[in-house]
Amino acid sequence: MACIEKIYSVSALIGNGSCNANCDFCAGKYLRPEAEENKDHSRSLEAAIKLSARYGGWSLSLTSSGEPTCDPDSLTRALEVYKKCADQGAYFPNVNLFTNGILFADDNFCDEYLDSWRDLGLNNVAISLHGVTEEEQAKAYNLESYPSLEKITGNIRDHGLGVRGTLLLRKGGVDSSKKYQDAIHTLIDKGIDNITSWPVGNPDGSRNEFSPSRLGQLGIKTWLWRNAKKCHGHVWGGGVYDYKGNILRITDYVTKHDPKKDFVRQLVVFQDSTVAYSWIRDGALCMK
């Protein structure tokens, strides 16, 4: 057993589990029975933020078992917890909201919430991208239509927030070096110049029918090695690259906690208020 030297980040599930999309490969559905109001959730989130900050943490990510913006009040409450922690010294330079982006095409929604969320500490909105066109997005989300990416990103930036793209690697979608290269170029042209990618899989980190081939993933990593400059690696795998002045990240969505390591990639705050050392709770409980 190793002593923990670093807790890099906190990921928190928020919201009531509702969603305005219907992905075939949703990783959050199995957690929706827990998506109820829990009086201890804010306390667990505060404890996780302060613990991570004490061990050098630098990032807070807010997500959901559904779509977090469908329950905007829960997002406000989570950011109020963060603001309290930041005012007491537990500050993170990166506070990210992970979203399908749909509601950010609504001007009234953005006007109602984005300024207050920014004032509470949110600084980046990460849009989940299964393709680079509205048609590809609509198909992946099982919707009749998906809003203009330019409209979504424009609204977010108009309220002083940064835009990130989460380009998901999926069989039949972006699953090869050629498709990855084309997607990266298109997204950069659309103004999304900070892009993170990971392969779609099961919540326990195993592969499923939607996962890209291992050969395809290797091709994407080889493309990055040949065409971009590596800025730094992650101790859990993957790394950050400079591609012509744009930021590209490649990583795994799930990292199983290893008690032999001296670091924790992230503390995960579940909606039942449990805090674990990874998304895979078995053998990784921190607080309950």
Q: How far is Cα 168 from Cα 101, in angstroms, rounded to an integer?
A: 14
Instruction: Look at residue 151 and tell me if it is in a domain.
Output: yes
Q: Which amino acid is at 56?
A: G
Q: Are 279 and 19 in contact (CB under 8 A)?
A: no
| 142 Ramachandran zone, left/alpha/beta (phi>0; psi -120 to 50) | left
Whether 117 is in a domain gets the answer no
Are residues 51 and 11 part of one domain?
A: yes
Q: Assess contact for 175 and 227: CB atoms under 8 A.
A: no
d(CA 254, CA 245): 28
Task: Look at residue 114 and tell me if it is in a domain.
Answer: no
In a domain, 94, yes or no: yes
Q: From first to last of the 288 residues of the chain, give the pLDDT tens digit.
A: 568 999 999 999 999 999 999 998 887 777 877 877 788 999 999 999 999 999 999 999 999 999 999 999 999 999 999 999 999 999 999 999 999 999 999 999 999 999 999 999 999 999 999 999 999 999 999 999 999 999 999 999 999 999 999 999 999 999 999 999 999 999 999 999 999 999 998 877 788 899 999 999 999 999 999 999 999 998 888 899 999 999 999 998 788 888 899 999 999 999 999 999 999 888 888 888
What's the DSSP call for residue 50?
A: H
Quick one: which of 135, 153, 156 has its CA closest to 144?
135
Are residues 231 and 278 both part of a single domain?
no
Residue 20 parent element (H or E): none
251 and 166 in contact (C-beta within 8 Å)? Answer: no
Total number of domains in the chain: 2
pLDDT of residue 1: 59
Nearest by Cα to 62 from 120, 147, 142: 120
Q: Is the residue at 21 inside a domain?
A: yes
Give Cβ neighbours of residue 119 (< 8 Å, ≥ 6 apart): none
Q: Which domain holds residue 43?
A: 1-99+260-288
Q: State which amino acid sits at residue 64.
A: S
Strand segments, DSSP code E, in 27-159 are 59-63, 94-99, 124-129
Q: How far apart are CA 65 and CA 15, in angstroms?
A: 8
Indicate whether 40 and 135 sit together in one domain. Answer: no
Q: Domain check: are 213 and 271 in the same one?
A: no
Q: Is residue 62 part of a domain?
A: yes
Same structural domain, 47 and 133: no
Is 9 a domain residue? yes
Which pTM value belongs to this model? 0.95
* Maximal C-alpha separation, the chain: 52
